[in-house]
């Protein structure tokens, strides 16, 4: 009988634990964190941002939750909210946020393509690890296509530090950048003004150049022919306007083609930099 | 003695604790589900989805089946049908009996139908075993009918719809057979006939397909350009290529118009069927033909100067009366006219006009993937302004 009583008492104690176990609040800190992590890992960033907000509210000292909020906003391309959160958590502490948050800020600036701001932020920051910092600095200079500055900065850094794989990669890009032979937009425009289509050929758009030359020549010939046979009439004016419009458009097009050529050359070199630095 | 011991305070406390633990747990999840339901009824599907997902994440396996169905329902409404299908699969996994499994399969097939993947829906329907249950049989036949209707196998569709209608209701059966006798109308207008008519007499194909304005537009454009070529021979150099393009364009468009008209007839016919057989929200909406929106009006509405208004009006006229008759000749996406309007919006009227003309000079058949990225969906080269 005594044993039965003991069994009943111990069962009751066990049941109290089950209540504790089962009745745990799904809104509490640990469950919210569990759910928020699930949302973040399954890339449902819109919902994970809200859930991490709850986690951060329940446990204001949880800095990882705060970091995840900013990351969630960044990954859903809501940069304004991400920046606002950063300022809210560390008011007036820019640029010296805690390291992870400072790196997050750099990534945000990279995402927003504000490379000049990234570089000045990094210059003033002293919380990021120096090796990482130099990588980001080189990256932001390369994204601005400042090849020579990148080379000088790398050489200065390597005088007192060791070369890492990333720095070597970035340094090589700067060397390749220095070897790019850019096309001058003004030369392209001038060439097209002298011989229609030649500016396009100069910017390595051979087919466009030949096509433009043929079209402009054809309309110019039609204008000339029309004036020769019928004098100045509606037809010749129409052909003349078309020929002149295409001629002017080709000059402008050659200017833009040179810009496009230069941009393409830069992009070929810098396309992997963002992935290298942001996905670290 | 035994009776007394069961009713003693100690045992009552024991029973109380047992029920309390379950109660505390279920109350929590139920609260989330109820909140999700209230959001769902307020048509706030995104947030309802979040609540259901939270409930799903924390709930016991026995609740996951119902929750998966709710999540899938949200995804169907926001038209993310692939995710809806995934959740119906999850619901199938957590199903405890055959009827729940059949229901999940039928839901999944509804998703295929909404995706207009009728062939696959039919394959899946043949795999569904309804265990001679009247409700499931009727649902299966209804879905079969819709799928056959989608694949234009009208006789089989009517056979399936006949199974859905109550056999004792002679009025409905006679109405259905009346529609069955008229289903030949669904085959008209024949796209092939419209094409041949447009080859023989430009514009006639469009008129036959039920688009008289497009037909008259085609006739006026072609006769106008031909007349101009004869009157001012020097303009023929420009006019003749355009006559050829608009003639070919008329042939292609008449075929498309005939198909479009057929779709509209099909929708009307389907709605007539749905007045006869017991309809559901799903069966009512799955054949709605979406109307085209005129997105080009934005350029006129956003014009902030007189010159931009003139360009926008010229552009709308071109799109309405010329481009609508043309073949799909531009190699780029967006097309040259849209590119010019975007450039005008961005750079101003003068530079935008020059940029647009330069784009015309770049738009030729020698463009390749080396110069521009190729989009496999639009089958055009990407060149954003």
Q: Residue B27 is part of a domain; what is its CATH number?
A: 1.25.40.10
B17 contacts in chain A (CB < 8 Å): 12, 15-16, 19
SS3 string of B12-72?
A: HHHHHHHHHHHHHHHHHHHHHHHHHHHHHHCCCHHHHHHHHHHHHHHCCHHHHHHHHHHHH
State the average pLDDT for chain A.
87
Contact A253, B356 (CB under 8 A): no
Cβ–Cβ contact A38 with B under 8 A: yes
Bigger pLDDT: B293 or A118? A118
Amino acid B318: pLDDT: 92
What pLDDT digit, counting tens, does each position of A178-205 carry?
988 999 999 999 999 999 999 999 999 9
Cβ–Cβ contact A248 with B under 8 A: yes
Q: What is the domain range of residue B40?
A: 17-96
Report percent pLDDT > 70 for chain A: 90
A21 contacts in chain B (CB < 8 Å): 21
B338: helix, coil or strand? helix
Amino acid B192: pLDDT: 93
Asked if the peptide bond before residue B230 counts as cis, ω within 30 degrees of 0, the response is no
State how far the Cα of B322 lies from the Cα of B258, in Å rounded to an integer.
Answer: 20
* Minimum CA–CA partner of B18 in chain A: A15
- Residue A121, judged by CB atoms within 10 A of its CB (0-12, 13-18, 19+), counts as buried
Contact B302, B346 (CB under 8 A): no
- Number of A/B CB contacts below 8 angstroms equals 101
What pLDDT digit, counting tens, does each position of A210-264 carry?
999 999 999 999 899 889 888 888 888 988 999 999 999 999 999 999 999 999 9
Does B155 fall in a domain?
Answer: no
Amino acid B221: pLDDT: 92
CB-CB under 8 Å, B355 with A253: yes
Strand order in the sheet with B332-333: B332-333, B380-382, B374-375
- Asked whether the predicted pLDDT for residue B23 surpasses 70, the reply is no
* Minimum CA–CA partner of A215 in chain B: B361
Which of B61, B96, B131 represents a domain boundary (last residue)? B96
pTM for this structure?
Answer: 0.75
Task: Indicate whether B264 and B204 sit together in one domain.
Answer: yes
User: Of B14, B21, B364, which is closest to A19 when you measure between CB atoms?
Assistant: B21
Token pair belonging to B111: 């998703």
User: Of A8, A26, A248, which is closest to B58 when you measure between CB atoms?
Assistant: A26
Of A32-36, B112-116, B146-150, B231-235, the least confident: B231-235
User: Of B14, B232, B353, which is closest to A235 when you measure between CB atoms?
Assistant: B232
CB-CB under 8 Å, A252 with B232: no
Average pLDDT over residues B280-290: 68
Task: Indicate whether B301 and B365 sit together in one domain.
Answer: yes
* Minimum CA–CA partner of A257 in chain B: B358
Residue A204 Ramachandran class (φ > 0 left, ψ -120 to 50 alpha, else beta): left
CB-CB under 8 Å, A235 with B25: no
Does B339 fall in a domain?
Answer: yes
Smallest Cα distance from B234 to chain A, Å: 7
Q: By C-alpha distance, which of A192, A138, A197 is closest to A169?
A: A138
User: Of B24, B362, B364, which is closest to A19 when you measure between CB atoms?
Assistant: B24
CATH fold group of domain A28-89: 1.25.40
Does B107 fall in a domain?
Answer: no
Does B167 fall in a domain?
Answer: no
Does B47 fall in a domain?
Answer: yes
User: Of A38, A226, A252, which is closest to B57 when you measure between CB atoms?
Assistant: A38
Cβ–Cβ contact B371 with A under 8 A: yes
- Whether this model's ipTM surpasses 0.90 comes out as no
Q: Cα B298 vs. chain centroid, distance in angstroms?
A: 24
The tally of domains found in chain B comes to: 3
Cβ–Cβ contact A208 with B under 8 A: yes
Task: Indicate whether B368 and B330 sit together in one domain.
Answer: yes
Does B23 fall in a domain?
Answer: yes
Contact B222, B268 (CB under 8 A): no
In angstroms, what is the C-alpha Rg of chain B? 30
Q: By C-alpha distance, which of A178, A82, A143 is closest to A276?
A: A143
Task: Indicate whether B378 and B305 sit together in one domain.
Answer: yes
State how far the Cα of A220 lies from the Cα of A213, in Å rounded to an integer.
Answer: 10
B50 contacts in chain A (CB < 8 Å): 47, 50
User: Of B17, B235, B361, which is closest to A246 when you measure between CB atoms?
Assistant: B361
Amino acid B178: pLDDT: 82
- Asked whether the predicted pLDDT for residue B57 surpasses 80, the reply is yes
Contact A144, A266 (CB under 8 A): no
Q: Alpha helices of B234-305 — where are they, by DSSP H?
A: 236-276, 281-285, 297-301
Q: By C-alpha distance, which of B32, B42, B60 is closest to A54?
A: B32
Cβ–Cβ contact A222 with B under 8 A: yes
Q: By C-alpha distance, which of B76, B158, B156 is closest to B115?
A: B76
Does B102 fall in a domain?
Answer: no
State how far the Cα of A218 lies from the Cα of B238, in Å rounded to an integer.
Answer: 11
DSSP-derived letter for residue A61 is T
Q: By C-alpha distance, which of A187, A208, A194 is closest to A247?
A: A194
CB-CB under 8 Å, A249 with B357: yes
Contact map slice: B 230-269 vs A, CB within 8 A: 232, 234-235, 237
Contact A233, A241 (CB under 8 A): no
B80: helix, coil or strand? coil
Name B333's bridge partners: B382
Smallest Cα distance from A265 to chain B, Å: 13
- Asked whether the predicted pLDDT for residue A10 surpasses 80, the reply is no
Measured CA to CA in angstroms, residue B204 lies from B187, B228, B292 at distances of 19, 22, 23
State how far the Cα of B110 lies from the Cα of B106, in Å rounded to an integer.
Answer: 6
Angle, helix A165-178 to helix A234-270, in steps of 10 degrees: 150
User: Of B13, B355, B362, which is closest to A12 when you measure between CB atoms?
Assistant: B13
State how far the Cα of B9 lies from the Cα of B26, in Å rounded to an integer.
Answer: 26
State how far the Cα of A169 lies from the Cα of A276, in Å rounded to an integer.
Answer: 10
- Asked whether the predicted pLDDT for residue B1 surpasses 50, the reply is no
Contact B220, B322 (CB under 8 A): no
State how far the Cα of B108 lies from the Cα of A225, in Å rounded to an integer.
Answer: 69
Token pair belonging to B31: 């609260």
What pLDDT digit, counting tens, does each position of A50-70 carry?
889 888 888 888 889 999 999
User: Of A21, A208, A230, which is closest to B361 when you measure between CB atoms?
Assistant: A208
Task: Indicate whether B194 and B261 sit together in one domain.
Answer: yes
CB-CB under 8 Å, A256 with B358: yes
State how far the Cα of B298 lies from the Cα of B271, in Å rounded to an integer.
Answer: 34
Amino acid A74: pLDDT: 92
CB-CB under 8 Å, A31 with B355: no
What pLDDT digit, counting tens, does each position of B236-277 carry?
878 888 999 999 999 999 999 999 898 888 888 888 888 777
DSSP-derived letter for residue B375 is E
State the average pLDDT for chain B.
85
Token pair belonging to B213: 């304005």
Write the CB contacts of B205 (distance below 8 Å, at least 6 apart in sequence).
B193, B194, B195, B196, B197, B198, B199, B215, B250, B251, B254, B255, B257, B258
Residue B334 Ramachandran class (φ > 0 left, ψ -120 to 50 alpha, else beta): beta
B18 contacts in chain A (CB < 8 Å): 15
Tell me the pairing of strands B332-333 and B374-375: unpaired
What pLDDT digit, counting tens, does each position of A134-161 carry?
989 999 999 999 999 999 999 998 888 8
Q: Alpha helices of A195-278 — where are they, by DSSP H?
A: 198-202, 206-230, 234-270, 273-278
Does B320 fall in a domain?
Answer: yes
């Amino acid at each position: 009988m005594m044993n039965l009583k003991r069994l009943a008492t111990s069962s009751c104690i066990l049941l109290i634990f089950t209540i504790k176990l089962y009745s745990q609040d799904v809104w509490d800190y640990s469950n919210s964190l569990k759910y928020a992590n699930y949302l973040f890992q399954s890339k449902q960033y819109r919902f994970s941002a809200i859930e991490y907000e709850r986690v951060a509210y329940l446990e204001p000292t949880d800095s990882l939750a705060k970091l995840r909020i900013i990351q969630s906003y960044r990954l859903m391309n809501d940069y304004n909210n991400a920046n606002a959160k950063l300022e809210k958590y560390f008011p007036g502490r820019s640029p010296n946020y805690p390291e992870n948050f400072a790196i997050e800020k750099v990534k945000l600036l990279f995402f927003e393509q504000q490379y000049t701001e990234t570089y000045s932020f990094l210059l003033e920051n002293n919380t990021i690890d120096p090796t990482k910092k130099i990588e980001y600095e080189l990256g932001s200079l390369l994204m601005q296509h400042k090849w020579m500055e990148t080379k000088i900065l790398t050489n200065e850094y390597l005088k007192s530090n060791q070369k890492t794989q990333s720095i070597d990669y970035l340094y090589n890009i700067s060397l390749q950048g220095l070897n790019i032979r850019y096309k001058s937009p003004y030369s392209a425009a001038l060439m097209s003004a002298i011989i229609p289509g030649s500016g396009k050929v100069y910017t390595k758009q051979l087919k466009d150049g030949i096509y433009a030359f043929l079209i402009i020549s054809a309309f110019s010939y039609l204008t000339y022919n029309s004036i020769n046979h019928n004098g100045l009439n509606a037809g010749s004016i129409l052909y003349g306007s078309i020929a002149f419009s295409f001629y002017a458009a080709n000059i402008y097009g050659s200017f833009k083609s040179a810009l496009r050529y230069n941009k393409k050359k830069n992009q070929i070199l810098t396309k992997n930099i963002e992935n290298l630095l942001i996905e670290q | 003695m035994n009776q007394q011991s069961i009713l003693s305070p100690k045992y009552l406390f024991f029973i109380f604790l047992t029920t309390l633990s379950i109660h505390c747990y279920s109350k929590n999840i139920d609260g989330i589900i109820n909140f999700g339901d209230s959001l769902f009824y307020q048509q706030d599907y995104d947030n309802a989805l979040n609540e259901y997902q939270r409930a799903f994440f924390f709930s016991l396996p026995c609740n996951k089946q119902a929750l998966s169905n709710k999540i899938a329902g949200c995804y169907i409404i926001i038209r993310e049908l692939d995710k809806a299908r995934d959740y119906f699969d999850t619901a199938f996994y957590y199903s405890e009996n055959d009827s729940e499994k059949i229901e999940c399969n039928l839901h999944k097939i509804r998703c295929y139908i909404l995706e207009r993947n009728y062939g696959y829906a039919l394959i899946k329907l043949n795999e569904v075993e309804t265990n001679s249950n009247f409700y499931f049989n009727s649902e299966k036949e209804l879905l079969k009918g819709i799928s056959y209707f989608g694949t234009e196998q009208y006789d089989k569709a009517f056979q399936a719809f006949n199974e859905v209608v109550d056999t004792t209701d002679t009025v409905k059966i006679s109405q259905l057979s009346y529609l069955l006798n008229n289903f030949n109308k669904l085959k008209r207008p024949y796209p092939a006939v419209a094409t041949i008519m447009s080859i023989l007499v430009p514009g006639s194909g469009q008129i036959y397909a039920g688009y008289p304005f497009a037909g008259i537009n085609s006739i006026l454009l072609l006769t106008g350009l031909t007349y101009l070529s004869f009157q001012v021979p020097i303009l023929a150099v420009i006019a003749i290529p355009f006559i050829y393009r608009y003639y070919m364009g008329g042939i292609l468009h008449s075929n498309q118009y005939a198909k479009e008209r057929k779709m509209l007839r099909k929708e009307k016919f389907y709605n007539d069927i749905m007045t006869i057989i017991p309809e559901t929200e799903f069966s009512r909406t799955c054949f709605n033909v979406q109307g085209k929106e005129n997105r080009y009006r934005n350029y006129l509405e956003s014009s902030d100067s007189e010159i931009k208004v003139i360009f926008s009006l010229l552009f709308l006229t071109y799109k309405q009366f010329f481009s609508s008759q043309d073949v799909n000749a531009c190699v780029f996406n967006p097309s040259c006219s849209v590119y010019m309007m975007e450039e005008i919006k961005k750079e101003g009227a003068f530079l935008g006009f020059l940029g647009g003309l330069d784009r015309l000079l770049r738009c030729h058949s020698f463009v390749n993937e080396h110069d521009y990225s190729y989009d496999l969906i639009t089958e055009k080269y990407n060149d954003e302004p």
